[in-house]
Amino acid sequence: MKFHLSNNLVGILNFLTFIISIPILGGGIWLSKHGTSECEKFLDTPIIILGIFLMLVSLAGLIGACCRVTWLLWFYLVVMFLLIVLVFCFTIFAFLVTNKGAGHVVGGKGYKEYKLGDYSSWLRKRVSDRKNWNKIRACLVDSHVCTKYAKKYANDDVNMFSKEKLKATESGCCKPSSDCGFTYLSPTNWTNTDTTSTNTDCSTWSNDPKMLCYNCSACKAGFVDELRSDWKKVATINIIFLIILIIVYTIGCCAFRNNRRDNSYQSGGWKP
């Protein structure tokens, strides 16, 4: 009974994975053909690779378990083991690089402001790289972060605006830093006054909707803060995913043992 149960479970799980890989691969191919924004173009290759990977691994597990092809099941188990190690390492890494940094409360304001120096050096280096930031900036523009922000708070006067709970990217990318002392006219329109602030973002700010503070250090910090929050959620989910992988791997080991036993019976004897 154990022989049939473990092999059938591996077969069913990998059949479901194979079915899931089809729309993932199809979505990646569609993005590569029809994607118009920089964000979509950036995502198509990883999605296609993920789809192909899931398809090949699930086929190896499905055929290896159901057709008793021992070498395919061995390949499947090796890949699963490497995946477990990879997910474990990424989860630890994600917790390490996201344990630093938080927004600063601004006196009399409902929103927080962000400084890039507060976050881990690894994240700072990635967003400070010009090539990386140009892609991230294009994604922020394509997702209309500041356009939506401007519409949402368009009717706010200065007192109402100062009490708003802004997202990290809205605070960093769509308005100037409070220490610049600029005069509020609208969420994306500020009067540039003479300031003694040493904050370089003050000179970077522009009322041009295409520029705003997208090249500001605060914008990079806001993006990193949201990324940090997302990575923490992913790392938590990865723990559950890791447990599932270990369970599937254990069942796969039972199926592999069953294949060896079946082959040994056919060749004249079984040795555990």
- The answer to whether the CB of 146 falls within 8 A of the CB of 172 is no
What confidence score (pLDDT) does residue 43 get? 65
pLDDT exceeds cutoff 60 at 268 = no
pLDDT-derived band of residue 44, with 50, 70 and 90 as boundaries?
confident
Structure tokens at 215: 């090249």
Average pLDDT score over residue span 46-54: 85
Which helix (H) or strand (E) covers residue 229, if one does?
helix 217-267
Percentage above 90 pLDDT, the chain: 33
Q: Each residue of 164-209: pLDDT tens digit? A: 999 999 999 999 999 898 999 999 999 987 777 788 899 999 999 9
**pLDDT category, 143, cuts 50, 70, 90?**
confident
Above 90 in pLDDT, residue 149? yes
What is the sign, positive or negative, of the torsion defined by CA atoms of 167, 43, 95, 218?
A: negative
Q: At what angle do helices 121-128 and 130-142 cross, to 10 degrees?
A: 80
Q: Which residue(s) pair with 183 in the sheet?
A: 191
The residue among 230, 232, 193, 189 whose CA lies nearest residue 211 is 189
Angle at 132 (CA atoms; ends 127, 133), nearest 5 degrees:
60
Asked if the model's pLDDT at residue 264 lies above 70, the reply is no
Answer yes or no: are the C-beta atoms of 184 and 190 closer than 8 Å.
yes
Confidence (pTM): 0.79
Per-residue 3-state assignment (H helix, E strand, C coil) for 32-61: HHHCCCHHHHHHHHHHHHHHHHHHHHHHHH
Note the pLDDT of residue 61: 87
Give the model's confidence band at 269: pLDDT under 50 very low, under 70 low, under 90 confident, else very high.
very low
Instruction: Tell me if 189 sits within 8 A of 207, measured CB to CB.
Output: yes
Under the banding of pLDDT at 50, 70 and 90, the label for residue 265 is low
